[in-house]
């Protein structure tokens, strides 16, 4: 009603001003009375115009205040989704780096070309293989090391990486999966690192690496218990066996199967201890280790010695001479350091039906790769694509994440859940992982705990809300006001229902990206080979067309 009265008042003022303007135009001041009448009309017109202008300014001010009141401030949070301007400024539209999906605003493809590590988190069937890993292998020509737990990544992408990207391909394939497609399996002997150090008389690295290999095969669990003493004893025996066999014959590199054979044969092991106890190799360190172990062998209670030896035998049992891993670790057909010198891709192919056997092997080869590449005097970049990274453990990996960038090594993790990684590595290592990954990609999150974490990480935004005061009785006027409050950019429940991809980039607004599989991108859909698990090509409607030279 007040607004209507105001509108009527303005209309009346306009009407009065109009009437007096017409009257003033007809008055001819032929006498003094008419002159004063004309002045009176002009005075009414002036006063009316002044009052009308004042009300117009007042209404304009109110309209401006209403517009400002409806505009959210940043008092309660400034979280927002990245725009195409943000993508262009950050260079994410340039077809260089790793494919992340398509912009939800324009549908243009997005790429990440950062220099540090990344994380893709998606439950089983969430699309991380189709939407990230296969596109990364088809598109990027950077040297890569790819643990391939089922062998399908190699089958789909090997031809493209070999013929289009001109890569030398090494398929370390102990179980000889899909051998008709992948060809003869390559081999890698982890103990070659020790032989190199002995040949170069780099004794410090020799002992340190032997201890690291022992710790890799017999790691401390995330929740260390009472068996630490026995694990230390098993590691000591293992270190002795490696050092003894490496220094015994410089022309022959021992294998993991040789270590297991020596551990199983207690007579040979004791004989080696007696021989080494008189040796001056390694500046007497080998003799010191042998004498320490002999003291445990010769004590009355043999149970401690047997516990040490049995723990070491169990750790090496996967490398039995009759097993699949014996031939695969018998010699070196390549070196990981070669990836710094030439374009090459290494697939570490496991057997999903025997993961208990292949898990320690995957972790050990991952440690060897990091060791060789960080010692190589080259700044060439190498990418580790760790699919299902929680299925195997590389000792000290998270601690090394801070320094790997300096050596040109980038690691991209794929996880089905954060809890699985914490179970394998520990809670502290999980926190380090989240801190060190510059780009974090999330598909199809279903865990409410993880959804809460993502929601908190996305932050809060400020939103406006309408408030109504209804009074006490039905005849009371309804009072309307506007207020603002904080709201999560996505609530945990909205994160669980989010059908697209959420991407977190350090120091930048989060990205809302559309999921696009390799089968929906031209020419990747042509470059990819048949997935042997399905027996036919994965087809889809083309959403993106990329131009290659």
pLDDT of residue 3: 47
Q: What pLDDT does residue 259 have?
A: 96
Q: Please, what is the end-to-end C-alpha distance for the chain in angstroms?
A: 70
* Max intra-chain CA distance, the chain: 143
Please tell me which of 289-293, 481-485, 533-537 the model is most confident about, judged by mean pLDDT.
Answer: 289-293
Do residues 343 and 141 touch, judged by C-beta distance below 8 A?
A: yes
- H/E run at residue 305: helix 303-316
Cα 96 to Cα 519: distance, rounded to the nearest angstrom: 19
Phi, psi values for residue 118, rounded to 5°: -140, 165
Q: Residue 78 has what pLDDT?
A: 86
Q: What tens digit of pLDDT does each residue of 254-264 get?
A: 999 999 999 99
Q: Is pLDDT of 2 > 70?
A: no
pLDDT digits 0-9 by tens, 145-173: 999 999 999 999 999 999 999 999 999 99
Report the pLDDT value the prediction gives residue 143, as an integer from 0 to 100.
95
Mean pLDDT within 507-516: 95
Share of the chain above pLDDT 90, in %: 58
Query: In the predicted model, is pLDDT for residue 33 greater than 70?
Result: no
Domain spans in the chain, listed from the N-terminal domain onward:
2-70, 84-182+342-458+490-545, 192-324
Whether 7 has a pLDDT exceeding 50, the answer reads no
- For the ranges 36-50, 118-132, 385-399, 412-426, the lowest mean pLDDT is seen at 36-50
Q: Which CATH number does 84-182+342-458+490-545 carry? A: 3.40.50.300
- Average pLDDT on 501-530 reads 95
Q: What pLDDT is attached to residue 299?
A: 77
Tokens for 241?
């066996």
HEC secondary structure over 365-426: HHHHHHHHHHHCCCCCCEEEEECCHHHCCCCCHHHHHHHHHHHCEEEEEEECCHHHHHHHHC
Report the pLDDT averaged over residues 477-484.
Answer: 79
Q: Residue 526, Cα to own-chain centre: how many angstroms? A: 27
Q: Which of 193-202, 421-430, 469-478 has the lowest mean pLDDT?
A: 469-478
CB-CB contact of 169 with 158 (8 Å): yes
Q: Which residue has the higher pLDDT, 225 or 97?
A: 97
Higher pLDDT, 40 or 186: 186
Highest mean pLDDT among 18-27, 222-231, 396-405: 396-405
At 15, is the pLDDT very low, low, confident or very high (cuts 50, 70, 90)? confident
Strands 168-172 and 344-349: parallel
* pLDDT at 462 exceeding the cut of 90: no
Across the chain, mean pLDDT equals: 88
pLDDT for position 5: 47
As a whole number, mean pLDDT of residues 277-286 equals 86
Mean pLDDT value across residues 286-302:
85
- 179-227 pLDDT, tens digit each: 999 999 999 999 999 999 999 888 889 999 999 999 999 988 876 666 7
């Amino acid at each position: 009603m007040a607004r209507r009265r105001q509108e009527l008042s303005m209309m009346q003022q306009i009407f009065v001003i109009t009437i007096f303007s017409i009257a003033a135009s007809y008055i001819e001041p032929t006498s003094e009375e008419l002159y004063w009448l004309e002045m009176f009309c002009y005075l009414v017109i002036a006063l009316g115009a002044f009052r009308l202008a004042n009300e117009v300014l007042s209404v304009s001010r109110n309209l401006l205040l209403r517009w400002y009141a409806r505009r959210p401030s940043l008092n309660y949070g400034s979280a927002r989704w990245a725009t195409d301007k943000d993508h262009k400024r950050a260079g994410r539209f340039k077809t260089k780096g790793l494919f992340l999906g398509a912009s939800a605003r324009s549908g243009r493809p997005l790429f990440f070309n950062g220099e540090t590590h990344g994380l893709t988190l998606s439950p089983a069937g969430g699309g991380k293989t189709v939407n990230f890993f296969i596109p990364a292998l088809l598109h990027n020509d950077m040297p890569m090391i790819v643990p391939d737990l089922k062998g399908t990544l190699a089958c789909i992408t090997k031809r493209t990486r070999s013929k289009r990207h001109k890569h030398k391909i090494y398929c370390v394939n102990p179980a000889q999966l899909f051998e008709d497609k992948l060809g003869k399996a390559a081999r890698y002997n982890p103990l070659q690192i020790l032989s190199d150090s002995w040949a170069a008389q780099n004794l410090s690295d020799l002992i340190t690496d032997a201890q690291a290999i022992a710790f890799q095969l017999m790691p401390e669990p995330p929740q260390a218990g009472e068996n630490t003493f026995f694990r230390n004893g098993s590691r000591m025996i293992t270190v002795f066996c490696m050092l003894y066999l490496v220094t015994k014959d410089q022309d022959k590199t021992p294998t993991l199967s040789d270590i297991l054979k020596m551990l199983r044969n207690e007579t040979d092991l004791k004989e080696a201890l007696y021989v080494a106890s008189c040796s001056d190799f390694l500046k007497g360190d080998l003799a010191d280790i042998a004498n320490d172990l002999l003291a445990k062998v010769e004590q009355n209670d043999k149970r401690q010695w047997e516990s040490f030896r049995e723990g070491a035998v169990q750790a090496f049992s996967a490398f039995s001479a009759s097993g699949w891993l014996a031939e695969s670790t018998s010699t070196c057909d390549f070196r990981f350091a070669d990836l710094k010198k030439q374009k090459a891709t290494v697939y570490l192919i496991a057997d999903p039906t025997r993961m208990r056997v292949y898990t320690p092997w995957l972790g050990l080869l991952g440690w060897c790769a990091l060791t060789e590449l960080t010692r190589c005097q080259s700044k060439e970049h190498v990418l580790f694509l760790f699919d299902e990274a929680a299925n195997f453990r590389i000792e000290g990996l998270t601690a090394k994440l801070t320094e790997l960038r300096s050596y040109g090594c980038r690691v991209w993790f794929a996880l089905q859940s954060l809890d699985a990684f914490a179970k394998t590595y520990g809670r502290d290592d999980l926190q380090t992982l989240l801190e060190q990954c510059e780009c974090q990609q999330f598909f199809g999150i279903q865990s409410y705990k993880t959804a809460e974490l993502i929601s908190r990480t996305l932050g809060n935004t400020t939103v406006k809300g309408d408030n109504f005061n209804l009074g006490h009785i039905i005849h009371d006027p309804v009072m309307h006001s506007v207020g603002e409050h904080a709201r999560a950019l996505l609530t945990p429940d909205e994160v669980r229902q989010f059908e697209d991809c959420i991407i977190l980039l350090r120091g930048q607004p989060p990205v809302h990206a559309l999921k696009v599989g390799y089968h929906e991108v031209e020419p990747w859909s042509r470059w990819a080979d048949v997935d042997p698990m399905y027996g036919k090509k994965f087809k889809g409607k083309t959403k993106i067309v990329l131009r290659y030279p």
